[in-house]
Structures are given as structure tokens and as C-alpha cells.
Amino acid sequence: MTAMRWDGSTFPEFKPNCSSLLYRHLSEPAFEQLKDKITGSGFTFAQAINSGVVNQDSSIGIYAGDAESYTLFSALFDPIIADYHGFTKTDIHRSNLNMKTLSAPNPDPDGLYILSTRIRVGRNVAEVPLGPALSREQRNTIESQVAKSLCNLSGELAGTYYPLLGMDETVRDQLVADHFLFKAGDRFLDAAGLNRDWPEGRGIFHNREKTFLVWVNEEDQLRIISMQQGGDIEAVFTRLVTAVKEIEKTVTFMFDQRLGYVTSCPTNLGTAMRASVHIRLPKLAADMPAFKNIADSHHLQIRGIHGEHSESESGIFDISNKRRLGVTEVECVQDMYNGVVALINKEKEL
Ligand code: ADP
Ligand code: IOM
């Protein structure tokens, strides 16, 4: 796989229909100030914004290669972070994993709208660069350390690690189609340097029921996932919190006092949590302005049925919390729950 590259020496050209946060916040003076900066792990400003320059349909378009990227390139990261999360320079990350403070009873006990619920967090290992700046050896070491830690989990979390290298293509395609595994060849990740040496160093761990899964070395080094059919959000959250606490006993994650868990994409900073439902809303789908209005007022993001950059099918959408930094984990799930209740009420009304 050869990633597309732009040479980074002159201010990038943006198409008239480009609406990425990179386009919105990259001024010519900021570009001149940043273009020759390079982090301690050798990550350049051109690498940071390459994805958004070559993929002009990016929603964000910028990636960090290490924790230092967020300070060295702060003239661009800070306004993007403020725009996406509503998080300013004086704000501080907050965490709350206390299930008792969440109020999210199943919003669809009869199973008329919600097909499945999924909550994931992104995590990266402390003391090494993030995915876009990792060397092949560093990536492979992370894979073996993380796989070893995961294989020691017990009870409901016990499972098996399946490396992508050597995985049968039909097995892999089925895991992707069933929404368990990340897809190959994502052009946004490719241009961010996240698909180098593919498929080496990547894989998926899951328990027997596929209700607890961990992606290894995709956009983040770990994506810890809890998911199941139906709308029992509290059960999904409880399993996720248990799993994260267990993994933290053996793997130290990259963490920053202000920005929380450090992730390669600024949208995932803080909690790195995306709580979503796959939900059937055919009537609202026919009235997108009303749909978007409810989504915006509840800080929700609307994705298609195969995740980011995919389309909806048969009136089914992926609805999740948008803000992840400056809000706690409980608030992320509460945002999703409150919004989903509002969407179901509107669908019933139509
Ligand atoms: P991420 O959630 O890690 O940001 P994506 O948006 O690409 O990444 O989603 C990854 C996969 O998870 C996709 O196959 C998507 O359809 C699936 N997915 C997301 N939410 C749900 C859900 N509530 N139920 C089932 N699958 C889901
Ligand atoms: N998180 C990342 N995959 N995404 C925001 C890419 C983009 O559209 O810029």
C-alpha cells in the first residue's frame, strides 16, 4: 500500500467544497509558523496534515504523531480542538466511570428501533510515539505486549487474539461485515501514515460471544470495545469499564493532565469514548433537517451503517456522542442516551 503524499513546502490548495476543520483553521501565517517544525520522534507538520490535504473530504484532516505534536503544533491543534469539543486552553480533562451516576435505562425495551449498542475507547501505550510515527519494530512490540496482556483476562473477558497477518481473507471480510473488525485500506488512515507495513502488527482480540473486543494498532494502538445486540446501554458500559480497568493493570497508557488520554486524532482526546447505537429511523431519514437538528442539540454525530465515512442503509444509522474531551465518560454516554430518546420520540411522532 503506497500512501499519497504532498510535499509540505507550500500552503496547501483546498477545493472550494472542502469543509474540514483543517481547512477552516489553517491560516497562511499559522502554516508559515509550523511548516518546518518537527517533534522529538521525527514527526513533521507535513505528516500531521497530509491526510486532510490529500483527502479533502476529511471531516478533520489532522493527526498527531506523538504527545508533543499537540504542543508543538498547538497553533493549529488548539483551534481545531476548541471547534470540535468546545474545549478551550484553560479547560482540563475530567473523568467519571461511576456507573451509579449514569441514568440510561434501555430506551427501546421492545426492540423496535435499536439494533445494537457499542461503546469504545481509544488508548495508546505510554513512552512510544502514536501510530502515525511508530516504527515497524515499535508497532510489533506493542502488538505482542498487548496480546499477552489480553490473553490473561478471565471470566466474561477471556478470549483469543487473532493477528491480521495470515488471517484468512473470508474470515476477515466477515468480521468487517459483522461490524467487529476495522476495514483494510482506509485512505484517511493511509495518508496519515497509519497503514504502513500493513497487515503486520495489527489484529483483533475478542471473547467467545464477541461482546468484548480490542483492535490492535489501527488508528489508535488499542480500541477497547464493548458491544451487544439491543439497547442495554448500562450493561455495555459496565463491561467496558471492567475491561479498561483490567487492562490498565498491565498496560500503562499515554495520558496528559489537560488533554486526558492522548490519541492520534484530536476528535478522540479526553475520554476517547464513542458510545453508539445502530438505530432504525426511516421516517426521520426522510426529514434530514429535523434529524440533524435533534442530533446537533444533543451533541450527537450521525454516521452510516459501516462506521465513519460510510452511508446509511435502509434507514439505519450509527448515532453516537460527538464530544469526548471536557466531558466525562458518563457524560459521553448520557449525551448519547438523551439524544437517542429524543430521536425515538420524534420517530414515533412522525
Ligand atoms: P470507531 O467507532 O472506532 O470510531 P467506526 O466508525 O469505523 O470506528 O466503526 C467501527 C465499526 O463499528 C463499524 O463496522 C461500525 O459499523 C461498527 N459499529 C459502530 N457502532 C455500532 C453499533 N452500535 N452496533 C454495531 N456496530 C457498530
Ligand atoms: N478520526 C478520524 N478517522 N477522522 C476524524 C478522520 C477525518 O475525517 O478527518
Residues marked active site are found at 120, 219, 223, 265, 267, 274, 303, 308
Collapsing DSSP to helix, strand or coil, 25 comes out as helix
Going by C-beta distance under 8 Å and a sequence separation of 6 or more, which residues neighbour residue 204? 161, 162, 164, 175, 180, 181, 213, 214, 215, 216
Residue 6 — very low, low, confident or very high, per pLDDT cuts 50/70/90?
confident
What b/e string do you get for 150-160 counting C-beta neighbours within 10 Å, with b at 16 or more? beebeeebebe
Name the band, by pLDDT with cuts 50, 70 and 90, for residue 303: very high
- Residue 26 covered by a domain: yes
Residues 275 and 289 in one domain: yes
266 with 348, same domain: the answer is no
Using the predicted structure, report yes or no on whether residue 103 has a pLDDT greater than 90. Answer: yes
Q: pTM surpassing 0.95?
A: yes
User: From CA 34, how far away is CA 292, in angstroms rounded?
Assistant: 35
- For the cut 80, the answer to whether the pLDDT of residue 253 exceeds it is yes
Please state, in angstroms and rounded to a whole number, the distance separating the CA atoms of residues 344 and 295.
Answer: 12
How many angstroms separate the CA atoms of 243 and 343, rounded?
30
Kindly report, residue by residue over 63-99, the tens digit of the pLDDT.
Answer: 999 999 999 999 999 999 999 999 998 999 999 999 9
The pLDDT confidence band at residue 3, using thresholds 50, 70 and 90, is: low
The parent domain of residue 211 ranges over 116-270
Query: Residues 149, 132: one domain?
Result: yes
- Summary mean pLDDT of the chain: 96
Q: Tell whether 30 and 174 lie within a shared domain.
A: no
- Read off the C-alpha cell for 268: 478522540
What's the 188 CA to ligand 2 centre distance in angstroms? Answer: 7
Q: What is the pLDDT of residue 2?
A: 57
Q: How is residue 155 written as a grid cell?
A: 471470566
CA-closest residue to ligand 1 atom 8: 307
Collapsing DSSP to helix, strand or coil, 261 comes out as: strand
Indicate the number of domains in the chain.
3
Sequence-separated contacts (24+) of 21-25 with Cβ below 8 Å: 21/59, 21/60, 21/61, 21/62, 21/80, 21/83, 21/84, 22/49, 22/52, 22/53, 22/58, 22/60, 22/61, 22/62, 22/76, 22/80, 23/52, 23/56, 23/61, 24/83, 25/76, 25/79, 25/80, 25/83
CB atoms within 10 A of CB 346: 17
User: Is the confidence at residue 1, as pLDDT, over 60?
Assistant: no
According to DSSP, residue 259 is labeled T
Q: Are residues 129 and 206 in the same domain?
A: yes
State the Cα–Cα distance between residues 217 and 222, nearest whole angstrom: 6
Amino acid in position 215 = W
Per-residue pLDDT at 108: 98
Asked if residue 294 and residue 242 are part of one domain, the reply reads: no
* pLDDT value for 296: 97
**Domain-ending residue, one of 270, 300, 318:** 270
The continuous run of DSSP H or E covering 37 comes out as none
DSSP 3-state assignment of 174? Answer: helix
Per-residue pLDDT reduced to its tens digit, 157-215: 999 999 999 999 999 999 999 999 999 999 999 999 999 999 999 999 999 999 999 99
pLDDT at residue 7 in the model: 84
Same domain flag for 188 and 309: no
**Could you tell me the distance, in angstroms and rounded to a whole number, from the CA of residue 264 to the centre of ligand 2?**
10
303 CB less than 6 Å from ligand 1? yes
Do 136 and 248 lie in one domain? The reply is yes
Q: Pocket of ligand 1, candidates 63, 226, 305, 306: which has the most ligand atoms within 8 Å of its Cβ, to mutate?
A: 306
**Phi, psi for residue 56 in degrees, rounded to 5:** -75, -5
Instruction: Give per-residue pLDDT as tens, 16-39.
Output: 999 999 999 999 999 999 999 999
Q: Which residues line ligand 2 (CB under 6 A)?
A: 58-61, 188, 219, 265, 267, 308
Based on the domain organization, do 46 and 149 belong to the same domain? Answer: no
Residue 3 forms part of a structural domain: no
Q: pLDDT higher for 312 or 18?
A: 18
CA-proximal residue: ligand 1, atom 5 (nearest): 307
Q: Which are the contacts of 17, defined by CB distance < 8 A and separation ≥ 6?
A: 56
Query: Residue 224 in contact with residue 247, Cβ under 8 Å?
Result: yes
End position of a domain, from candidates 270, 299, 314: 270
Whether 236 has a pLDDT exceeding 80, the answer reads: yes
Residue from 116, 174, 179 whose mutation best tests the ligand 1 pocket (most atoms within 8 A of CB): 179
- In this prediction, residue 5 carries a pLDDT of 74
Sign of CA dihedral 315, 334, 116, 275: positive
- Are 218 and 166 within one domain? yes
- Cα angle 184, 54, 219; round to 5: 40
Q: Are 52 and 22 in contact (CB under 8 A)?
A: yes
The reply to whether 280 and 239 lie within a common domain is no
Mutate to test the pocket of ligand 2, among 120, 265, 310 (most ligand atoms within 8 A of CB): 265
Query: Are 171 and 25 in a shared domain?
Result: no
**336 within some domain:** yes
